[in-house]
Amino acid sequence: MRQVEISFPRGKPSYNNYFGTNSDPSGSEKIKKKKRASDSVDVTHISSNDNDDLFKISRSTPSVPKKKKKSIGLTSEETDLLISGSKADKIKTVVDSLSFETISEGLLSLGRVIRIRDHEILVSLPGRTMGSVPITAISGPYTKALEKLTLAEGREDAVYGVKDLFQIGQIVSVAVTGVKKDVHSVRVTLSMSPSDLQAGYTSGSISESMVLTGAVESVEDHGYIIDIGVQGTHTFLPKENAKAFIQNVNHKPLGIGQLLKCKVLKSKSAGRSGTSKTYLTVTISPKEVNRTKYTMETVNNYQLLLPGMESEGTVMETHKTGIKVDFLGMVSLIHLDHMAEPWTLPGTLEVGATNFPRVLYLFPNSSNPYLTLQSRICQKKASLPQLLLTLGDKLKVKIARIEKRGLIVKFENGERGFVSSTRCSDNSAFTDEDIAREFPIASSHTCCVMEYSSLDNIYIGSFQQSVLSQQIIRIDQLEVGQVVSCDLKAWKSTGAIVGVGLAKGFIPKIHFGELALKNPAVKFPVGHKFKARVCRIDLNKNQILLTAKKRLVKSKAPLLSSYPECVYGIESEGVISKVTESGLNIFTIGGLSAFIPATKATKESRTRLTKLFFPGQVVNFHVVSANAEKNRIILSMLFEESSRQHTSSSNEVITGGKENKQKLKNGKQSAGGHVIEIINKSVKVIPEDVVVVKPTTNRRKISSEDKSKVSLENKETKSKSRKLTTDKTKSKDNPEPPRKRRKKHNSEQDTHKDVPKRSEIPCLEVPSESFYDTSYLIKGGNESDSDVSSVEEYETEEIPKTVKAVKKDKASKEWAHESEIRKIESKVADPLHTPTTLDDFERLVINSPNSSLAWTAFIAFVLQGADIVNARALAARALQTILFREEGERLNIWKVMLNMETGFGTEESVKHTFNEALKANDPLAIYKAMCEIRQRAKNYKELEYLLRVMNKKFPQEREVWFLGLTHYYKTGQFDKGRELFKTCLANLPKTEHITMISKTAVLEMKYGDVGRGRTLLDTTLLTYPKRLDLWLLYAAQLIKKGNYDDARDVFQNAARVPFVPKRMLVVLKKFLQFEMEHGTLENRSKVKEMALQYVNNVDASAEFLTHLDD
């Protein structure tokens, strides 16, 4: 415990401190004896207190003359001190927390990983402080491995990246190796190297049951060589002692340089004196490490203490700022922030009470360790505490306590907060008296949540009005594409630093002005405010990249911020960042880097690109290709080529030939040998070989008068053709009507002379508002033939015939009509006939009124014309027609309606249909159907919302949880999937656990971490070894992954389980089949030997081996 005098760093001293005890600052001075003859004082008159032994003069001695002595001169302050009491009464006992002022090199502390970058790790420390660990300060073996990788020296052992070695929220031990203090900041450099953490250890000071930090130095045949940073030691970790850690915690083999908590199992010294070496055998089993508690026999001095050590402590004293504890025979301190519970006061603990604290941090050259009673600090699983407040929010708080460094506040939900003295006001002259006056205990104020100290479990806030008035506090409140207000802070050589609320961003020089500016600082001086657009956000590096180009700020073009968004043909805008002879480097609005080849930048191949383009120029482009694996996006600026390709693919020229009798694209259907094309709600009936040029734009409906006009026009055409043919015949031949029929070829030759070509005959365009208006056109597939009969009769009309010929023609026509009717009837009777017209579909639903398949086909046919109104009406008609007992068929129609609204309707219509479907059907079935629709549409935001709702509504349904797990694993959100898996097991009954574990293991092995999936199955099979389905599932997954050796081990383990003969036969059959496909002849013989051995041991029948050969 440090004895600290009351200090007043700001303003006037206050004799009434924040805790209500009086003190006099004059007591901080040492009493100095000064010889001053003029100010001689008889000390017998200074103190009238008889109990004051120091200055008391015995009054019982006789009064004898005394020699004059030089009196002791005291100042007035010293006199007041003597009168008021001893100096010790004026010194206050304080338990200080760690701070940037007290942190120093050599400090050892626990910390929590809060951010992992490529080259450093950010660690939260006690006392609301933090530091960074460079990649070269993780461990000595890791640094050497990185150096070898840099020199391109291959290694057989695994060397993981920083993000694979550590996890966010992981508790680590660190040593402070450097503290750099500037005017406005303090940078603390840390080290995790065992040589820095265990610098006070020697080979003789290590004893069994100690837990030390070690780093994997090399991988051997039977274990690992561990570096603990202590000279004269050789540490070995057997593979058996690492299995539990690898399976339950690491989920992958140990990597070179990886840090481990190692518990010493054996310690043996060998060699001569002076050159002896200590050989240590350790384990990293989580159970062994976590239950280690130290005694004075193991650790008996301050130099052997390490962060995280746990032992029994006894309360010696309690104070307002903390408690004093007897810990391993040393006087130790626990600050108020590290009590067992956030709002526990030290006074609630009784002197003599025992507890089990851990070492939190250790000052160098000290003898008083600082401890913590918070059990969550050394939790088994690495994870950050769940934030109950959103960073950046402005919330109401109450002042709970006033401390030397600031204020402790309490949020409405009970969370703790800290506001430092410098954040209480924007006024730099704000004194401690002002703080006590403006922020009295229990007063309410609005506080902005700035940060979160994960190790102390406390939020950092601010009362400054300059902070409360800002909308943007942190960069995670921003989104890519968002337009924000900026103020320019400073200019650098490559661009400008701008303020976005309280966050800071960067704008490159080429992103100022529409044209390239040589000196943008002239037009945009420091302090200038303007609008900018967020292009890229990097949370790991805490960086924001923006653009100030007005065209991009106002642009409505799609954002291209990720590779999935770069779909072929999508158009957007960007800035040219570099111009080369081979092409243009482009920076998109969403922050992606792309490339436009020279051939796709301009058609002028002879002109250099440098003459046509310049850096900073805003250009339009469309995506040609995007490859996420190669990190490459190819764009093009030639829009004519892309639009021509798009036009040719979407607006194809259609003819009426026989090849078009099949279903055509873009809503085209065939009817009676002619093509019906539906474009923009316009229906066309096209004769064979007549080319469709463009759709009509007329929107009026065809009335009965229009129909009659069409038929009259056809009749007039027929009569004109007859008259024309007759006149020509008369002019060439005998004017008298012929008795005999002329030769056919002469008639056809004369007839076709004046007949217009097919291309000159206009196609019949029938505009309509709805699809159903065209029913008279395609009825039975024959009405279209009658509508263009004028063309056919025009070509086949002949000269007048005799009465006999007329009768013969009439009979042939009747026969043709009857044969056509028979064809139609055979079509209707044929079950394999595919409906192609509205009448066909009407007959289909009349014959099968309760068939959802028939109604679905009908609705799909109508939707090919994009007629959503009639499709909705048809779906409603289907629900009215299908019997209420046919729940499955009605459910299918509701699914069709949901699909239809998702594809053609609005979000409001989707929600309305969804709510109606929930009322009419089983809610679970509708939720599952909607999830499938959202997944097919890749609308993951709405899908995840649905999954959360389903988890709350149907917590006992296994399928609901599996839907969510499948989604998260397929989309690569493994952390969310694993958290959902834990929640799932907590909600489902135990009878469902094995099924969920096996399904999750399959997902892990297919999409996530294979090692984690294997661990799940291994653990389950240890508990339920006779689950044959799990053994077969395990082996099948390994075979799919190509891990044949591991699959063979699984089959061998399954064969050792004492199954009944029927089940063992299945195992051995599968095993033999596996060896036939992937094994050798020797392996197959081993399987048969296992079968024979099983038959002998169990007395199975001889048929067992016969069935095995089958």
CA–CA gap between residue 1030 and residue 1066 (Å, rounded): 13
Report the alpha-carbon angle 249-253-254, nearest 5: 80
Alpha-carbon distance 652 to 645, whole Å? 11
From edge to edge, which strands make up the β-sheet containing 764-767? 668-671, 674-679, 682-686, 764-767
- Residue 659: alpha-carbon gap to chain centroid: 50
Query: Alpha-carbon distance 874 to 655, whole Å?
Result: 31
Report how far residue 337's alpha carbon sits from residue 578's, in angstroms, rounded to the nearest whole number. Answer: 54
Distances (CA, A) of 969 to 665, 897, 979, 1004, 1019: 36, 29, 12, 7, 21
Cα–Cα distance, 874 to 486 (Å, whole number): 55
> Which residue type, as a one-letter code, is found at position 321?
T
Residues 359, 305 contacting (CB under 8 angstroms) = yes
Q: Which stretches within 560-638 are classed as H helix?
A: 609-612
Cα–Cα distance, 526 to 920 (Å, whole number): 64
Spans in the chain with pLDDT lower than 70: 1-93, 152-157, 271-274, 378-385, 516, 605-606, 639-808, 822-833, 1098-1110
Residue type, 564: P
Q: Which two tokens stand for residue 1062?
A: 């029927």
Q: Are 901 and 930 in contact (CB under 8 A)?
A: no
Q: What CA–CA distances, in Å, run from 887 to 624, 857, 883, 890?
A: 48, 19, 8, 5
770 DSSP 8-state letter: S
What is the predicted pLDDT for the residue at 369?
93
Q: Where are the alpha helices (DSSP H) in 460-616?
A: 465-468, 520-523, 550-554, 609-612
441 strand-pairing partners? none
According to DSSP, the residues that pair with 219 across neighbouring strands are 224
Nearest residue to 118 (alpha-carbon basis) of 132, 98, 128: 132
- The CA-based angle 452-455-459, given to 5 degrees, is 25
- Between the alpha carbon of residue 295 and those of residues 310, 354, 361, the distances in Å are 9, 14, 19
Which of the 8 DSSP states describes residue 794? Answer: H
- Taking the C-alpha atoms of residue 327 and residue 468, their distance in angstroms, rounded to an integer, is 45
Close Cβ partners of 783 (under 8 Å, ≥ 6 residues apart): 672, 776, 777
The answer for 681, left when phi > 0, alpha when psi is -120 to 50, beta otherwise, is: left
**Torsion, Cα of 497, 498, 499, 500 (10° steps):** -120
Q: Could you tell me if 717 and 709 are in contact, meaning their C-beta atoms sit under 8 angstroms apart?
A: no
The torsion of the CA quartet 450, 454, 459, 464, rounded to 10 degrees, works out to: -30
| Structure confidence at residue 359 (pLDDT) | 94
Provide the CA 242 distance to its chain's centre, in angstroms. 31
Residues 6+ apart with CB under 8 A from 940: 934, 967, 971
Q: What is the pLDDT of residue 216?
A: 94
Handedness of CA 378, 382, 387, 391 (dihedral sign): positive
How far apart CA 35 and CA 75 sit, in angstroms, is 11
Per-residue pLDDT, 937: 85
Tokens of 833: 């006939």
For residue 996, CA distances in Å to 314, 1083, 1103 come to: 47, 34, 37
The span from the CA of 223 to the CA of 237, in Å, is 5
Report the C-alpha gap between 461 and 450 in whole angstroms: 5
Q: Which of 225, 264, 229 is nearest to 108 (CA)?
A: 229
Phi, psi dihedrals of residue 715, rounded to the nearest 5°: -65, -40
Residues 6+ apart with CB under 8 A from 89: 27
Backbone angles phi and psi of 834, in degrees to 5:
-90, 120
Number of residues that make up the chain: 1110
Three-state SS for 704?
helix
Q: Is 106 helix (H, G, I), strand (E, B) or coil?
A: coil
Phi/psi for 577 (5° steps) reads -95, -25
- Pairwise CA distance, residues 332 & 324, whole Å: 6
What distance in Å separates the CA atoms of residue 498 and residue 484, rounded to the nearest whole number? 11
For residues 803 and 985, give the distance between their C-alpha atoms in angstroms, rounded to a whole number: 92
CA dist 1072 and 1086 (Å) reads 9
- Angstrom distance (rounded) from CA 52 to CA 777: 124
List phi, psi (to 5°) of 350. Answer: -90, 145
